[in-house]
Amino acid sequence: MSANDGIGVSEQVHGYLSALATAIDGLTECDLTGLQDSELTSVMQQVEKSLRRADAVGHRLIVETAERSLPGKLGHKTLNKLLIGVLRISAADASARITAAKSLGTWHALSGQPLPVDLPETATAQRDGDIGADHARAIREVIRKIPHTVSSSDVAVAEEILAELARSATPEDVEKAGHELLAHLNPDGNLTDDKDRKRLRGIRLGRQDQNLTTPISGHLDPEARALLDPILAKWARPGMNNPDDPESPTGAAEHPAVDRDKLAAAAGLDTRTAAQRNHDAVKEALRALLASGVLGSHRGLPATTIITMTLDQLEHATGVATTASGGTLPIRDALKMAERSHPVLVLFDHNGRPLHLGRSKRLATADQRLALIAADRGCTRPGCDAPATMTAVHHVHDWSKGGATDIGALTLGCDGCHALIHDGPGDWKTRTAPKDSEYAGRTQWIPPPHIDPERKPRVNHRHHPKELLERARRKANAHKYADTVSRREQPQRPTGSDGMDEIP
Ligand SMILES: [Zn+2]
């Protein structure tokens, strides 16, 4: 519609704004107590959708403000300063909004011609109200990290897949799947190559402050992180090493004896920075600590770094392995760790779960736990990101009601999630996915009605980002197919979305 239609643009915009204000007045003042529980969550979702769509309006306003050089005209040095002055928002907020508008807004050439949107599918998903600012930020971060050697058409496909995924997943899921995607686009894992990792590594101990506490900062390399995680899982557990409780158990490591002469000689040749030496020291200490066996066991397994990878990854020595504590490290580093075998266990993530113990034992054996770590990788409740080290082995069917201690009937769950199932107030149910279902053999969780009125069983994709990517890729392909069909069949309407999911 244009000004020629009889109504000026200004009146039009003011009409929209007053309708928006009326709607918000109504929603602010109406009595929510009359809503059913399920309605309340649905209202929440609809308000969220509108707020997300409103972000897209914000981008339009920023683009328009910038393109007519308003900051200069109004005496603001930059667009940031104009936003801060006009909206009284923080500098951080202003720059976040401008960054978002740059990648999601439709900008124009001097001729007035619209330019291609930086992240077109993400922008569409936001306009649809399906994704929020955090989703968009997660996608932008992944796209930004794609190496320049990757073709622009591959980048476009990656963006499409991530945007499709974001429509049905959390920003954290997008981030995780993004790592997977980056590993796929750069299978050698040299996104930040070995040189970068060597240069970046370091731990900085700050000066003691007034409280006598010391700030610490820096970067651990993936191997160091993978060594550190299981120790934290063990020593930082509630009740362990608590100085306020004399009864609390403590753990300590022994220092190896040091040969002073050798040390003096090595010091003369050492060109590392202090931060790099700190880093290397901690890494070796952790390695020695893990190898010494003083850590004993953690939830029935020796406390150690547990790495999972697929046979395919092993054969090609490319990609990224995951650790039981939720970390990732390049396969090459994982294999290097495995060669020094003592502290590390490498598991191969097959789909099958080979162990069967029936009801002979109440407690899951260490072998079963290892198999579950390889298969489940973490808590199996949909959306929970507790890594395997934070979980215990649970019976999919309550053991007290006859559930077997059989690998096919066991699953990993963190304590919080486990409290939600069986007869607990959370009202979640668990079962093993039937043979003919998409994720056969995995633990399905059936949500209570306030989360999903249809109570559709779902599995947790949080520890299996590849699955999310696969699903998003299928959906993106389906959309493309639908577009082609609708273009070919014009003016008939395109076929419905039913059945589209089956197109590979
Ligand atoms: Zn959990």
Q: What is the DSSP string of 90-145?
A: -HHHHHHHHHHHHHHS--B-TTSPBPPPSSHHHHHHHHTTSS-HHHHHHHHHHHHH
How far does residue 38's CA lie from ligand 1's centre (Å)?
Answer: 24
Contacts of 473 (CB under 8 A, 6+ apart): 161, 164
pLDDT at 399 (0 to 100): 53
Both 371 and 453 in a single domain? yes
Cα(372)–Cα(31) distance, rounded to whole angstroms?
48
Q: How confident is the model at residue 233 (pLDDT cuts 50, 70, 90)?
A: low
Cβ atoms < 10 Å from Cβ of 263 = 9
Question: What is the model's pLDDT at position 478?
Answer: 75
> 468: closest CA among 165, 251, 60, 34?
165
Residues 455, 418 share a domain: yes
| 197, part of any domain | no
Residue range 457-478, pLDDT digits in tens: 989 988 887 777 787 778 777 7
- Encode pLDDT of 105-117 as tens digits: 999 999 999 999 9
Q: Place 93 in a pLDDT band, splitting at 50, 70 and 90.
A: very high
Instruction: Tell me, yes or no, whether 9 and 106 share the same domain.
Output: no
What is d(CA 53, CA 129) in angstroms, rounded to the nearest whole number?
A: 5
- Classified as helix, coil or strand, 329 is strand
SS3 309: strand
Containing structural domain, residue 321: 216-239+274-349
Q: Give the pLDDT score at 370.
A: 78
Residue 49 binned pLDDT confidence (cut-offs 50, 70, 90): very high
Lowest mean pLDDT among 130-139, 259-268, 414-423: 259-268
CA distance 202 to 282: 10
Q: Which of 7-21, 46-60, 194-208, 343-357 has the lowest mean pLDDT?
A: 343-357
CB 300 within 8 A of CB 294: no
Which of residues 499 and 310 earns the better pLDDT score? 310
**Backbone torsions φ then ψ of 446, nearest 5 degrees:** -105, 115
Chain position carrying tokens 């040969």 = 259
Residue 341 and residue 290 share a domain:
yes
Q: Is 266 part of a structural domain of the chain?
A: no
The token pair that represents 185 in the structure block: 């686009």
Residue 372 in any domain: the answer is yes
CA 191 to chain centre: 18
Same domain, 60 and 12: no
How many Å lie between the centroid of ligand 1 and the Cα of residue 417? 4
Whole-number pLDDT of residue 246: 57
Q: From the CA of 376, how far away is ligand 1's center (Å)?
A: 12
Structural domain contains residue 497: no
Per DSSP bridges, beta strands 320-323 and 297-298 are unpaired
pLDDT at 206: 77
Same domain, yes or no, for 402 and 310?
no
Burial class (CB in 10 A: 0-12, 13-18, 19+), 127: middle
Q: Are 294 and 230 in a shared domain? A: yes
Instruction: Name the more confident of 479 and 351.
Output: 479
**How far apart are the CA of 460 and the centre of ligand 1, in A?**
10
Q: Are residues 26 and 47 in the same domain?
A: no
Q: Tell me how far the alpha carbon of residue 381 lies from the centroid of ligand 1, in angstroms.
A: 6
**Token digits of residue 194:** 């070995």
Q: Are residues 221 and 345 in the same domain?
A: yes
Strand partners, 392: 413
Tokens for 484, please give them.
């082609």
Distance from residue 420's CA to the centre of ligand 1 (Å) = 9
Residue 211 has a pLDDT of 63
Question: Which of 64, 86, 118 marks a domain boundary?
Answer: 118
Distance (angstroms) between ligand 1 centre and the Cα of 452 equals 18
Final residue in a domain of this structure, among 321, 349, 377: 349
In a domain, 425, yes or no: yes
How crowded is residue 289: how many other Cβ atoms within 10 Å of its Cβ? 20
| Paired tokens of 150 | 């990757």
Give the residue-averaged pLDDT of 173-202.
74
Of 429, 444, 463, the one marking the end of a domain is: 463
Q: What does the CA dihedral 372, 376, 377, 380 come to, rounded to 10 degrees?
A: -120
Q: Number of structural domains, the chain? A: 4
Give residue 449's pLDDT band: very low, low, confident or very high (50, 70, 90). confident
Mean pLDDT of 355-379: 67
Q: What's the gap between Cα 428 and its chain centre?
A: 23
**pLDDT for the residue 65:** 97
In a domain, 313, yes or no: yes
Q: What is the pLDDT of residue 425?
A: 66
Higher pLDDT, 218 or 105: 105
The rounded Å distance from CA 384 to ligand 1 centre is: 5
Whole-number Å distance between alpha carbons of 499 and 373: 34
Are 56 and 106 in the same domain? yes
Q: Is 335 exposed, middle or buried (0-12, 13-18, 19+ CB in 10 A)?
A: middle
The Å distance, Cα 414 to ligand 1 centre, comes to 4
Read off the pLDDT band of 160 (50, 70, 90): very high
Q: Quick check: pTM over 0.75?
A: no
Give the angle subtended at the CA of 58 by the CAs of 56 and 64, to the nearest 5°.
105
H or E stretch at 347: strand 344-348
* Percent above pLDDT 70 for the chain: 72
Domain assignment present for residue 301? The answer is: yes
323 with 401, same domain?
Answer: no
Clarify whether residues 284 and 309 are in a common domain.
yes
Higher-pLDDT residue of 129, 432: 129
72 has pLDDT over 80: yes
The pLDDT of 479-496, averaged and rounded, is: 56
How do beta strands 320-323 and 305-309 pair?
Answer: antiparallel
Q: Given a cut of 60, is residue 499 above it in pLDDT?
A: no
Beta strands in 118-226 (DSSP E): 202-205, 216-219
* Cα 458 to middle of ligand 1, angstroms: 14
Q: What is the mean pLDDT of the chain?
A: 78
Confirm whether 255 is domain-assigned.
no
Q: Count CA within 13 A, CB hemisphere, residue 299.
A: 27
389-447, pLDDT tens digit by residue?
A: 888 888 887 655 655 556 677 889 988 888 887 666 678 888 888 888 888 888 999 88
Q: How far is the CA of 171 from the centre of ligand 1 (A)?
A: 18
Asked whether the predicted pLDDT for residue 251 surpasses 60, the reply is no
Contacts of 96 (CB under 8 A, 6+ apart): 133, 137
Q: Name the more confident of 248 and 292.
A: 292
Residue 483 has pLDDT above 90, yes or no: no
Q: Is the pLDDT score of 249 beyond 60?
A: no
Please state, as a whole number, how many other Cβ atoms lie within 10 Å of the Cβ of residue 81: 15
CA of 419 to the centre of ligand 1 (A): 9
pLDDT mean over 162-173: 91
